[in-house]
Amino acid sequence: MKKYLFSVISAFFCLILFSAVETKAQKAGSVTQNIAPVNPSAMLSNVFNEQAERKMMKADGLSEIVIDKLISDRKKLISSGRKVEWRDYNNLRKNIIPNTSWCDDIGVENGWGAWNGAPGQTNGGNPCTFTVSVNPPVSNANTCFNLTSGKGIDSCSPGVAPGSPPLPVVAPGFGKASIQIGCPELPGCYAEQITYQLTPTAQDTTFLYSYAVVLYDPGSSHAPNEKPFVNFVILDQIGDTVPCSFMHIVANSNIPGFYPASSGCTGGSSTWYKPWTIGSVNLVNYIGQQLTVIVTNADCSQCGHFAHSYWDFACSQLSPLSCTGQQITLCAPDTFQNNYYQWYHNSLPYANSTGCISPIAQAGDTFSVLVVPSLGCTIYLKYVLQDTCLTAVEENIFTGVNIFPNPASENIFIDFGNKNFGKAEIIFTDVLGKIMISENKTAIGKYNIDVSSLSKGSYFVRINTGEGSVTRKVVISR
């Protein structure tokens, strides 16, 4: 990446609103209260040579899809009167220390890593105040910063409504650990904020995040800016919001995608939860820049209602598991808007233009999707299929190993028979390759795997041993 990287020198908030009421907090959230205003003298030229820029991007290996998106974004900014500059990446990166390891660190698989945390308080509807941020985050009697693991579910789920899903404490498909902030079911006037600084490279411009939320709604007794909320944003190195990274969720009843909590949850029918949901932010315009991820969780300002939330993060492309000749389902991230979808198969347009497609997998297939929500926040994701079909050698080694019942409902048994394969890692993944269950066993005899937390659908079971690996397809049906 060279001189075609541009930076918008003005605040640009792409709001994804989940509450019917727009509050002052939504317009000027606490996450930006200490950001210095932009200096008008920093405005830059908007003249550029489109043909030269396209040639430069192509020489650096960018796809036509990404090039078109970059050029289109710049034209829109210029037509709206915004000033932009194409920056020299080589000069820009001299002024920062790139965090090139963020892909392996941000998902907390090995602890908090570079995450910082600050406890705080709500202030009668005004922006929250926080103490000094520290690494790693530290909980106290009123504020909670936790790393979750295992197969547990949040105590407020599944809800009372028929079909309400459970809320696992670990994000499905994002590894074995997740972040939980806010003390579960503990009303108060407290807040938590976690931050992470990263520097995207050309290899990790797709920022993936997954989140789940539990909110105790005070109803009409509180103004919207006094209610519990969660907030997510990514800021660039001058304090502007990265487009389409801003999310502000305020406690309310009947928010799309939320479910009423279980009867035993504090707040009863006034508490609502949202199961794990995946989002994505395109960072292609921010290669070499230092960005800051900020997540805020806040109780109500009158001290009687709580918020707690779960978060996990990853980067780069998705690598769904597949078998050549078999159908696979691929779905775009959920952006909660009326979206336009354009799918591509091996760089060629794919006929289906819906949120999910179900092609027949072939060895070496690559799919990508361009998502354009009604608000114009474009997302581009790439899926590189991993062929996990059994080879003849693997079949011979694992002859006699049975996985049953299939379809299954609550439990699946893996019977290794009389053979002893030594230590084995057993991994359940969904069709997108996201890890749902991971257990270590001694591969002899019969084992029971609890699959009650899995939703209905198709999954792959992969067994890794010292003698080889095998993958089988199973179906969860209830």
Residue 397 has a pLDDT of 61
Pairing of strands 307-315, 206-216: antiparallel
pLDDT at 27 over 50: no
Residues 218 and 342 in one domain: no
For 54, the domain range is: 46-82
Final residue of a domain: which of 288, 315, 342? 315
| More confident site: 286 or 69 | 286
Residue 149: Cβ within 10 Å count:
14
Residue 278 has a pLDDT of 78
Of 46-50, 88-92, 291-295, 308-312, the one with minimum mean pLDDT is 88-92
pLDDT average, residue stretch 209-226? 94
Residue 254 has a pLDDT of 81
pLDDT at 95 over 90: no
Final residue of a domain: which of 353, 372, 387? 387
Q: Is 361 among the domain residues?
A: yes
Residues 334 and 364 in one domain: yes
pLDDT over 70, % of the chain: 73
Residues 148 and 245 in one domain: yes
What whole-number distance in Å separates Cα of residue 342 and Cα of residue 369?
Answer: 6
Domain count, the chain: 4
Q: Is 402 among the domain residues?
A: yes
pLDDT at 36 over 50: no
Residues 57 and 178 in one domain: no
Residue owning tokens 């993958």: 471
Classified as helix, coil or strand, 19 is: coil
Q: Is 88 among the domain residues?
A: no
Which tokens in the block code for residue 22?
Answer: 């727009």
Which tokens in the block code for residue 163?
Answer: 């079909």
Task: For the full predicted model, state whether its pTM sits above 0.95.
Answer: no
Q: Is 89 among the domain residues?
A: no
Residue 373 has a pLDDT of 75
Length of the chain: 478
Would you say the C-alpha torsion 69, 75, 80, 83 has a positive or negative sign?
positive
Q: Is 379 among the domain residues?
A: yes
Residue 396 has a pLDDT of 55
Q: Is 209 among the domain residues?
A: yes
Pairing of strands 15-17, 116-123: unpaired
Residues 167 and 222 in one domain: yes
Final residue of a domain: which of 82, 107, 138? 82
pLDDT average, residue stretch 339-357? 84
Q: Is 87 among the domain residues?
A: no
Residues 23 and 52 in one domain: no
Residues 297 and 191 in one domain: yes
Burial of 40 (0-12, 13-18, 19+ CB in 10 A): exposed
Radius of gyration of the chain (CA): 24
Residue 336 has a pLDDT of 53
Of 88-102, 368-382, 405-419, 428-442, the one with minimum mean pLDDT is 88-102
